[in-house]
Amino acid sequence: MKISTGEKIFYSLNYIVLAVAGLSCIIPLIHTLALSLSDNHAVMSGMVSFLPVNFTFGSYDSLFKGTRLIGALTNSMTITLVGVTLSMLMTILAAYPLSRRYFYARRFFSLAIVFTLLFSGGIIPMYLLLKSLGLMNSYWALWLPSLVSSFNMLLMKTFFENIPEELVEAARMDGCSEWRLLGGIILPLSIPVMATLVLFYGVHYWNMFQNILLYITNAKKYNLTVLVQQMIQNQAALAEATSNEPQLADLITPESVRSAGVIILMIPPLLVYPFIQKYFVKGIMIGAVKG
């Protein structure tokens, strides 16, 4: 079909806008990476743009040896892996019964969950609740409030509802129980939406910041996000990182160490996303629209 002149102009403008939006996201990342790989003189003199100047790994070496980076990275991985596992388990167990038409009070519970998308108790009641439960300074204070995201649960519920009912009825006729139906038929067909929700929950737990500052008082339990934030705001932490490596003192600068911390914080999501990207659009579209 021939494309009209107006459509060509519209598509061209779309490409330009998307290109500008993409560059606005990737250019700061490239600049930060170049800063983390450049030496002290180049960074201080403002010579670094998009390519490293006087290439060096001194910032990363100082970051690993002069800060609690390994411990913070381990904490982030623990929070993320356990949190994603628990959240996915609870989301599946909540979404499946709500997707079955024969489930009693299905409409009531669905409306109650939607209600939580609009209204919540707030930070202070949640803080008082977790404190009364004795969960302060425990990772359970991070996992329990985030066990089920209402939006994610509704997304998975809608995906379950789009699975052909004939398939479910055939499994029941063969004597399939609810647990076997869920584990052997429903979940294998739901890989796109499950991969999408793993990404959503993973990003949420990996970037968790406010809840850790509220509920975790032991600095040894801080995750990588909090450590990088402290390095950005606290010059003393940066001075400690550089002073522990005197042979690198002339090669690195606090700015490059901060940049190295930001890059390390971004690496895990960047490594995981390509493997589940192919499921992302399909999971969102099928789970968000009732077919």
Please say if the pLDDT value at position 290 is more than 50: no
Given this model, what pLDDT does residue 87 score? 93
What's the pLDDT band for 244 if we cut at 50, 70, 90? low
Where do we find the tokens 């993973």? Answer: 202
Where do we find the tokens 């990342």? Answer: 29
Contacts (Cβ under 8 Å, ≥6 apart) of 219: 68
What is the arithmetic mean of pLDDT over 32-60?
78
Of 92, 115, 49, 98, the C-alpha closest to 198 is 92
What's the pLDDT band for 192 if we cut at 50, 70, 90? confident
Please say if the pLDDT value at position 112 is more than 80: yes
What is the arithmetic mean of pLDDT over 235-247?
54
Please say if the pLDDT value at position 275 is more than 50: yes
Q: What is the pTM of this model?
A: 0.80
CB burial of 214-240 (b: ≥16 within 10 Å; e: otherwise) equals ebbeeeebbbbbbbbbbbeeeeebbee
Please say if the pLDDT value at position 16 is more than 90: yes
What is the arithmetic mean of pLDDT over 152-172?
84
What is the arithmetic mean of pLDDT over 200-213?
89
- The whole-angstrom separation of Cα 78 and Cα 142 is 12
Rg of the chain on CA atoms, in Å: 24
CA 194 to chain centre: 14
Given this model, what pLDDT does residue 246 score? 52
What's the pLDDT band for 281 if we cut at 50, 70, 90? low
Please say if the pLDDT value at position 211 is more than 60: yes
Given this model, what pLDDT does residue 235 score? 56
- DSSP calls for 36-97: HTS-HHHHHTT--SSS-SS---HHHHHHHHHSSHHHHHHHHHHHHHHHHHHHHHHHHHHHHH
Please say if the pLDDT value at position 287 is more than 70: no
Residues carrying CATH 1.10.3720.10, the chain: 69-215
Q: To which CATH superfamily is domain 69-215 assigned?
A: MetI-like (1.10.3720.10)
Given this model, what pLDDT does residue 89 score? 93
- The set of long-range contacts for 143-149, using a CB threshold of 8 Å and a minimum separation of 24, is 143/79, 143/82, 143/83, 143/86, 143/87, 145/211, 146/83, 146/87, 146/201, 146/204, 146/205, 146/211, 147/86, 147/87, 147/90, 148/87, 148/90, 148/91, 148/94, 149/87, 149/91, 149/200, 149/201, 149/204
Where do we find the tokens 């991985």? Answer: 77
Given this model, what pLDDT does residue 242 score? 54
Please say if the pLDDT value at position 162 is more than 50: yes
Given this model, what pLDDT does residue 236 score? 54
What's the pLDDT band for 291 if we cut at 50, 70, 90? very low
What is the arithmetic mean of pLDDT over 183-202?
86
Output the CA torsion sign for 237, 239, 244, 250: positive
Please say if the pLDDT value at position 95 is more than 80: yes
Taking 3-state DSSP, the helix, strand and coil percentages for the chain, each rounded to the nearest 5, stand at 75, 0, 25
Given this model, what pLDDT does residue 4 score? 78
- The whole-angstrom separation of Cα 93 and Cα 149 is 13
What's the pLDDT band for 107 if we cut at 50, 70, 90? confident
Please say if the pLDDT value at position 82 is more than 90: yes
As given in the structure block, the two tokens for residue 4 are 């009209």
What is the arithmetic mean of pLDDT over 44-49?
75
Mean pLDDT, rounded, of the chain: 80
